[in-house]
């Protein structure tokens, strides 16, 4: 018996030791207002919604293009079959694999629940949970890379607070009992906009129901949030409660009504909250202004797309890749404090950017710290730049209009720059 006890104690010590090893993964999690990646580092979602359920053939290229533009995450529209063609388990596995290959954290959501109670065809939160349980084999083992957004906009206007609370506490219980230990995301009522404050006032009850405490709350900001004061009032309330929040959908307008998108991005940056723009492409004619790119062309950003990626607090200026992917400099914003040859960030081809223009050796390349580096402007150091609403970008050498991608970074055509 003593021998058995000693063996048990040894196993316990080994387990503790393994969990304590530097770099040991503990899955994505929530700590107060912050989302932590699998290495325990703070992760702010800066990404885009991808309409997979309706445009399945566009997703692979979209993920590649979204990552190339500097996003660190994607929220992917799936269907459980209640309203649209069911997304198969194998599709989900492929989406996760492709997103991981591009260094993107994936938020998966069931869209069929949208507006339940007002939309006659909408499914229930419970039916969404049924779907997650059905495809769980594609989800197990992906806890470092996948967030489960239980149900998209799961109630329209008018539900009671208890209805919203009970639906989500029961969903969390079922998911946890099935062994799904992923970080979970919960959407607000009122078609996601929470203008009645049901989620804001009752979020603590929902997170208390999760034995892991790993719940992110998601508000969708459209015409209800038409001013900085409206945006700040909502985000600051979650910050004051010590709860994690993401703006799971937003745009610059909605059915022609103004949305304070710049304020959303600025306040999210202030509080360390995530945001995910709606949506990559394919919106209906009356919502075409919400397309981030035209016709699924990653090289053809719309006005909204330029604002989302290149605004002062846009994705390109604020995104950092999750450290679980092994790129500590993150997304498009590298650090400048070290002297290890990567001090000015890393280009998408894996080479460090050059810090000193005198390092130029021609053809967009330089030599620093005993290795090749990529000149930040992709030229001999003398290429002109464009001051795009306060942010400097290189002028494209191969096109005069629109945004482009040259020498592993975004560039802007001279004509477009002149016409801003």
Given a contact cutoff of 8 angstroms between Cβ atoms, the answer to whether 369 and 341 are in contact is yes
Q: Nearest to residue 110, comparing CAs of 135, 141, 94, 131? A: 131
Is the pLDDT at 10 greater than 90? The verdict is no
What DSSP letter does each residue of 206-220 carry, written as one string? HHHT-TT--EEEEEE
Average pLDDT over residues 352-373: 61
- For the stretch 62-79, pLDDT in tens is 999 999 999 999 999 999
Q: Nearest to residue 243, comparing CAs of 212, 200, 284? A: 200
Q: How far apart, in whole angstroms, are the C-alpha atoms of residue 32 and residue 245? A: 10
At a CB cut-off of 8 Å and minimum separation 6, what does 90 contact? 138
Given a contact cutoff of 8 angstroms between Cβ atoms, the answer to whether 148 and 139 are in contact is yes
Looking at per-residue pLDDT, the higher value among 345 and 142 belongs to 142
Q: How far apart, in whole angstroms, are the C-alpha atoms of residue 327 and residue 343? A: 12
- For the stretch 305-343, pLDDT in tens is 999 999 999 999 999 999 999 864 333 333 333 333 334
Average pLDDT over residues 196-201: 98
Q: What are the structural domain ranges in the chain? A: 27-325, 385-418
Does the bond joining 47 to the residue before it have cis omega, within 30 degrees of 0? no
What is the CB-side half-sphere exposure of residue 184 using CA atoms within 13 A? 27
Average pLDDT over residues 234-250: 98
- For the stretch 278-293, pLDDT in tens is 999 999 999 999 999 9
Is the pLDDT at 17 greater than 90? The verdict is no
Is the pLDDT at 184 greater than 50? The verdict is yes
Which of 2-11, 225-234, 337-346 is modeled with the greatest confidence?
225-234
Given a contact cutoff of 8 angstroms between Cβ atoms, the answer to whether 106 and 146 are in contact is yes
pLDDT of residue 119: 78
Identify each DSSP E strand in 24-179 by its residue range: 29-31, 34-36, 46-50, 73-78, 105-110, 146-149
- Catalytic residue ranges: 153, 249
- Phi, psi angles (nearest 5°) of residue 66: -65, -40
Total residues found in the chain within this entry: 420
CATH superfamily of 27-325: Glycosidases (3.20.20.80)
pLDDT of residue 117: 82
What DSSP letter does each residue of 174-231 carry, written as one string? HHHHTT--S-EEEE-TTTTT-TT-HHHHHHHHHHHT-TT--EEEEEEESTT--SHHHH
pLDDT of residue 5: 35
């Amino acid at each position: 018996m003593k021998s058995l006890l000693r063996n048990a104690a040894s196993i316990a010590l080994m387990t503790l030791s393994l969990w304590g090893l530097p770099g040991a993964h503990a899955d994505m999690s929530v700590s107060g207002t912050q989302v932590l990646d699998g290495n325990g580092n703070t992760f702010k979602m800066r990404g885009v919604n991808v309409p997979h359920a309706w445009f399945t053939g566009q997703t692979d290229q979209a993920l590649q293009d979204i990552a190339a533009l500097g996003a660190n995450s994607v929220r992917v529209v799936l269907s459980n079959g209640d309203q649209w063609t069911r997304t198969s388990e194998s599709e989900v596995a492929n989406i996760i694999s492709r997103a991981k290959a591009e260094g993107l954290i994936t938020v998966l959501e069931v869209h069929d629940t949208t507006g339940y109670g007002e939309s006659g065809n909408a499914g229930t939160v419970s039916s969404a949970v049924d779907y997650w349980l059905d495809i769980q084999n594609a989800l197990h083992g992906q806890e470092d890379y996948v967030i489960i957004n239980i149900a998209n906009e799961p109630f329209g206007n008018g539900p009671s607070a208890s209805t919203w609370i009970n639906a989500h506490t029961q969903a969390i219980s079922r998911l946890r009992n099935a062994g799904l230990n992923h970080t979970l995301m919960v959407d607000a009522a009122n078609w996601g906009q929470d203008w009645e404050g049901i989620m804001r006032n009752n979020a603590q009850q929902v997170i208390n129901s999760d034995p892991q405490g790993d719940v992110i709350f998601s508000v969708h900001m459209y015409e209800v949030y038409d001013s900085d004061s409206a945006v700040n009032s909502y985000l600051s309330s979650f910050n004051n409660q010590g709860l994690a929040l993401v703006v799971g959908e937003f745009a610059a307008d909605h059915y022609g009504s103004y949305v304070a998108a710049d304020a959303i991005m600025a306040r999210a940056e202030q509080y360390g909250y995530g945001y995910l723009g709606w949506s990559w492409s394919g919106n209906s004619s009356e919502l075409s202004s919400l397309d981030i790119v035209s016709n699924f062309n990653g090289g053809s950003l719309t006005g909204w797309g330029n604002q989302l990626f290149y605004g002062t607090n846009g994705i390109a200026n604020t995104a950092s890749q999750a450290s679980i992917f092994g790129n500590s400099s993150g997304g498009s914003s590298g650090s400048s404090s070290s002297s290890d040859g990567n001090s000015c960030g890393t280009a998408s081809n894996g080479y460090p950017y050059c810090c000193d223009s005198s390092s130029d050796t021609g053809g967009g390349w330089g030599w620093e710290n005993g290795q090749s580096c990529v000149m930040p402007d992709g030229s001999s150091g003398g290429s002109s730049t464009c001051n795009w609403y306060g942010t400097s970008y290189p002028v494209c050498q191969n096109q005069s209009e629109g945004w482009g991608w040259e020498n592993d970074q975004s560039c802007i055509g001279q004509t477009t720059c002149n016409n801003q």
